[in-house]
Amino acid sequence: MINSQAFFTGLKSLKGARSPALPLAACFVALGALLKDAGFNIQQSAASSFFTYALPGQLVMAESLLLGASIVNIFLAVWLVNFRLYPMTVSLFPLLEHKSQPKWKYYLSCHFLAVSSWLIAKDSYKKINAKYRIDFWIGIGTGTWLTAVFMTVIGYLAADLLNKEMLIGLAIVNPIYFFCMMIGAMKNIAISIAVILGTTLGPVIYLFSTEWSLLFAGLIAGTIAYLFGEKDVK
């Protein structure tokens, strides 16, 4: 059903110098401590990472709850901040597609889509036989997802041991790691423009619209980058 060799190759991406385990651990430990602070119990904290598994959305949820936002508002705010997962899935899953593979694998494993797993898969899918790429992806996803859930619990339990400076230090690891990985991915003009313009436009549009900034910045910067890429090919 699942090719174990491809699965374990994916799972093993947690090891080594390019491993996402460290930044994942840092940010989910910080999240676990934050959820405890917000009044979650340990099961609720673990469940949040288990079922949502998308850090920015979970941060929005915790902050909105503390501000007394309604469930509908939380739903909308999270949907907008996590909408990036849509273009991310569409730019990855066609690469993992194979006719012989059942559809359920794709619909279930899309839950593993997060920045860390996406960057690893984009970086290394070519090394895997096209037929088993989805199994490779399930391996990457299982590893990163379980790390996140486990580290949320650790963060919850260790909350009292972590002071504010340590938590701030842990929280910066995540964006820095992903920035470095994205710079590593800037191999052509289109991706380079997409990354640089997106980084700039994100905070700028945020000044005008907090909720829609990611969507607009992504669409504008991405489209400009695409047009430059096409021009370059010609």
Partner 1 sequence: MLSSQIIIFAIIATSIATYISRFMGAVTSQKVSVKSKIFKWFNCVAYSTLAALLGRMIIFPAGVLAESALTIRLIVFFTCIAIFIISKKNLVIPTIASAILLSFLTNI
Within 38-97, the residues that bind partner 1 by CB under 8 A are: 38-41, 44, 47-48, 51-54, 56-66, 71-72, 74-76, 78-79, 81-95, 97
23 lies in the site for partner 1, by CB under 8 A: yes
CA–CA gap between residue 152 and residue 62 (Å, rounded): 14
CA–CA gap between residue 70 and residue 164 (Å, rounded): 28
| Coil, helix or strand at residue 113 | coil
18 lies in the site for partner 1, by CB under 8 A: yes
Residue from 120, 121, 151, 217 in contact with partner 1 (CB under 8 A): 217
Residue closest to 14 by CA, chosen among 150, 132, 192, 160: 150
Q: 113 phi and psi, to 5 degrees?
A: -70, 115
CA atoms in the 13 A half-sphere facing the CB of 233: 7
CB of 206 to partner 1, least distance (A): 6
CB of 173 to partner 1, least distance (A): 5
Nearer to partner 1, 82 or 147 (CB): 82
Q: Per CB under 8 A, which region of 3-11, 105-113, 143-151, 153-161 contacts partner 1?
A: 105-113
Taking 3-state DSSP, the helix, strand and coil percentages for the chain, each rounded to the nearest 5, stand at 80, 0, 20
107 lies in the site for partner 1, by CB under 8 A: yes
- DSSP conformation class of 210: T
120 lies in the site for partner 1, by CB under 8 A: no
148 lies in the site for partner 1, by CB under 8 A: no
147 lies in the site for partner 1, by CB under 8 A: no
| Coil, helix or strand at residue 137 | helix
Residue from 3, 101, 152, 213 in contact with partner 1 (CB under 8 A): 213
| Coil, helix or strand at residue 124 | helix
229 lies in the site for partner 1, by CB under 8 A: yes
CB of 132 to partner 1, least distance (A): 17
149 lies in the site for partner 1, by CB under 8 A: no
How far, rounded to the nearest angstrom, does the alpha carbon of residue 165 sit from its chain's CA centroid? 24
